[in-house]
Amino acid sequence: MTPLPDAPLLDVRGLRKHYKVLKRALFGRRQARIVRAVDDISFVLQAGQTLGLVGESGCGKTTAARSILDLVRADAGEIRLDGQDVRPILAGADRAAMLGVRRRMQYVFQDPYLSLNPRWTIDEALREPLRVHAAQDQQGWKERIAALLETVGLEPRHGVRYPHEFSGGQRQRVGIARALAVGPDVVLLDEPVSSLDISVRAQILNLLAELQDRLGVAYVYISHDLSSVRFISTHVAVMYLGRIVEIGAVDEIFARPRHHYTAALISAIPPPSPGAVDKRVHLLGEVPSAIDRPTGCAFHPRCAAALPICREIDPALQPTGPNSQAACHNPA
């Protein structure tokens, strides 16, 4: 795949994934309703950058990531890699072309235990992507696996062990090594530290930052932990009910969030000291149903700054700073 001049590494345009839900109606009839899990999101990612994808549980972060890799078949949109739309390739019958795309985009799952086959040793788990992608000659697999283990802070002798013999942090290191096995350009990380202790989280985040500096890989980092997002990301996109409501450079977003939902999320970060003044923004009510999405701006029932227009017209993303955009009629 030849990169187009000035094309971003990853360019997601109008990605959409809806689910039909059948609801029993009067006289036993069934009525189809729509869950808008991912509803027309777009972003770009350059080589060596990290996009933090944040939002409350159920906002569509994981569905968006899996749709990018065609682990979930998207309903619409484009996934451009170096300027070429790869959705038709991932859904097509040309296995060689499909594997060529998958070699460049890999995934690290949230649960490092469930993502590993308990009957395989670590050597076998790392050998599988090399076998599937025919990454190199079989004679070089042993050296490649040893190098991968050392890259993520493990030792080659650990390869004969099984997943249950490792701690959670060590298993996640194996998951990262498996994603890096075929030399990807983009790695999508789905809550990679959410199940780990605080000290282990810091180790994994430092490892990811070190690997990015060394290998130049780009990350899409999915999390609801804004502290880790601020540490590792260069850009951040905030999702609410399937849509991106604010996106931009991480320092700009955290210094002055313009969307009121983003401000509420940032205010919920625990203060550094117990005696700090609580500046948390308390939202009204609960998250609306993804089936019965409110008219206009989906956030308006919970927003203290909502205007009458917010109940009628869904705002589009508009520039709010040099490197940021927000979808809000009354930005902060």
pLDDT for position 197: 85
3-state SS, residue 168: helix
Residue 314 lies in a domain: yes
Residue 188: predicted pLDDT: 97
Mean pLDDT by 10 residues, the chain (332 residues): 72 94 69 87 96 92 94 95 94 92 94 90 94 81 94 94 93 95 95 86 94 96 92 96 95 94 89 70 81 90 92 94 93 89
Query: The domain containing residue 301 runs over which residues?
Result: 257-332
**Is residue 287, in this structure, part of any structural domain at all?**
yes
Report the pLDDT value the prediction gives residue 300, as an integer from 0 to 100: 92
Helix (H) or strand (E) holding 54: strand 50-54
pLDDT tens track for 212-256: 999 999 999 999 889 999 999 999 999 999 999 999 999 999 999
Spell out the residues 6+ positions from residue 224 whose beta carbon is closer than 8 angstroms to its own: 54, 55, 56, 57, 191, 194
Contact 9, 45 (CB under 8 A): yes
In terms of C-beta density within 10 A (0-12 exposed, 13-18 middle, 19 or more buried), how is residue 209 classed? middle
CA-based torsion, 54, 57, 58, 63: positive or negative: positive
Residue 112 included in any domain: no
Q: What is the pLDDT of residue 139?
A: 80
Q: What is the pLDDT of residues 43-69, one digit of tens each?
A: 999 999 999 999 988 899 999 999 999
Query: Are 299 and 322 within 8 A, CB to CB?
Result: no
> What is the spatial distance between Cα 152 and Cα 112, in angstroms, rounded to a whole number?
14
In a domain, 327, yes or no: yes
Q: Is residue 312 part of a domain?
A: yes
Distance, in Å, from the CA atom of 254 to the CA atom of 40, rounded to the nearest integer, reads 24
Please indicate, yes or no, if residue 301 is contained in any of the structural domains. yes
Cα separation values, 134 from 71, 120, 126, Å: 21, 19, 13
Q: Domain for residue 324, yes or no?
A: yes
pLDDT at 296: 93
Asked whether the beta carbons of 14 and 40 are under 8 A apart, the reply is: yes
Count of the separate structural domains present in the chain: 1
Q: Is residue 201 in a domain?
A: no
Residue type, 140: G
pLDDT for res 58 = 86
Sole residue written with tokens 């994603």: 179
Could you tell me if 280 and 268 are in contact, meaning their C-beta atoms sit under 8 angstroms apart?
yes
Estimate to the nearest angstrom the gap between the alpha carbon of 176 and the chain centroid.
Answer: 15
Residue 45's pLDDT is 96
Which pLDDT score, from 0 to 100, does residue 272 have?
72
Give pLDDT, residue 289: 82
